[in-house]
């Protein structure tokens, strides 16, 4: 069901200390089905709820709710250390993430906000980052939150976070002031040709 890499298992054991049976790792899923977020916390065994399913993480118990178990089926949990961040990373199985909500003929989400965001990406953002081999695609719109994916040279680029927050998000908010959040759902760890 859930696979822990050797490094992730080692780090969980380090956090659990000398008595691994005294605590459990709880995994909760948030966000949207297309752009899930994951929260991993250590809990006492008495904190297990009725809807928690207990699975073996490789020498320690893992609590996952019955609702979240489907998305986590086939997931890999790793512990990563990057330039500005370190921590657990959950990579769901490809089959667990549905196509973008509202997609029609593979064109992505529809609606007024989607159209305005796509126009900014097509006319202002993508022509600029194309010089570096990059592209940004609208993946999902959920009320006034949008989810984008960075591809090409932007995927895995050390400057991708700055590009998104200081450039792209600013342009999007100017054109679509009702936006409340811009979420990056890119798997930056799998970038094959980042621009450095």
- Sheet of 134-142, strand order: 134-142, 145-152, 181-184
DSSP reduced 3-state for 147 = strand
Look at the chain and report how many structural domains it folds into: 2
Same domain as 172, residue 89: no
Same domain as 76, residue 140: no
Domain boundary among 66, 96, 126: 96
Distance CA 1, CA 133 (A): 37
CATH number at residue 73: 2.60.300.12
Same domain as 90, residue 116: no
Domain boundary among 33, 67, 96: 96
Residue 105 placed within a domain: no
CA distances to 23, 39, 143 from 59, rounded to whole Å, are 11, 20, 42
Span 117-162, pLDDT tens digits: 999 998 888 888 876 677 888 988 988 999 988 887 777 777 778 8
Note if the pTM is more than 0.85: no
CATH number at residue 127: 3.30.300.130
- Quick count: other Cβ atoms within 10 Å of Cβ 17? 10
Cβ pair 94, 114 in contact under 8 A? no
Confidence band, pLDDT 50/70/90 cuts, at residue 32: low
Same domain as 37, residue 63: yes
Same domain as 12, residue 89: yes
**Bridge partners (DSSP) listed for residue 48:** none
Domain boundary among 55, 70, 96: 96
Residue 103 placed within a domain: no
Residue 101 placed within a domain: no
pLDDT at 195: 45
Mean pLDDT for the stretch of residues 37-58? 86
**Bridge partners (DSSP) listed for residue 56:** 61
Distance CA 12, CA 33 (A): 26
Most confident of 16-20, 21-25, 97-101, 116-120: 116-120
Residue 55 placed within a domain: yes
Confidence band, pLDDT 50/70/90 cuts, at residue 21: low
Residue 177 has pLDDT above 90, yes or no: yes
Domain that holds residue 16: 3-96
- What does pLDDT average to over the chain? 80
Q: H helices within 62-181, ranges in order?
A: 69-72, 112-120, 126-129, 160-162, 169-175
Residue 5 has pLDDT above 50, yes or no: yes
């Amino acid at each position: 069901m859930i696979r822990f890499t050797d490094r992730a298992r080692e780090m969980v054991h380090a956090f659990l200390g000398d008595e691994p049976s005294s605590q459990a790792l709880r995994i909760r899923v948030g966000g949207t089905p297309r752009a899930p977020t994951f929260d991993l916390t250590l809990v006492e065994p008495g904190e297990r709820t009725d809807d928690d399913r207990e699975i073996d993480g490789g020498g320690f118990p893992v609590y996952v709710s019955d609702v979240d178990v489907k998305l986590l089926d086939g997931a890999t949990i790793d512990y990563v250390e990057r330039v500005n961040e370190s921590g657990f990373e959950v990579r769901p199985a490809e089959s667990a993430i549905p196509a973008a909500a509202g997609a029609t003929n593979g064109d992505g989400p529809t609606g007024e906000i989607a159209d305005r965001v796509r126009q900014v990406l097509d006319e202002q953002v993508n022509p600029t980052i194309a010089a570096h081999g990059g592209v940004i695609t609208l993946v999902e719109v959920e009320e006034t939150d949008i989810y984008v994916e960075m591809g090409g040279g932007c995927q895995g680029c050390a400057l991708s976070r700055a590009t998104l927050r200081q450039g792209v998000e600013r342009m999007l908010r100017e054109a679509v002031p009702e936006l409340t959040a811009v979420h990056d759902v890119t798997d930056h760890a799998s970038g094959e040709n980042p621009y450095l």
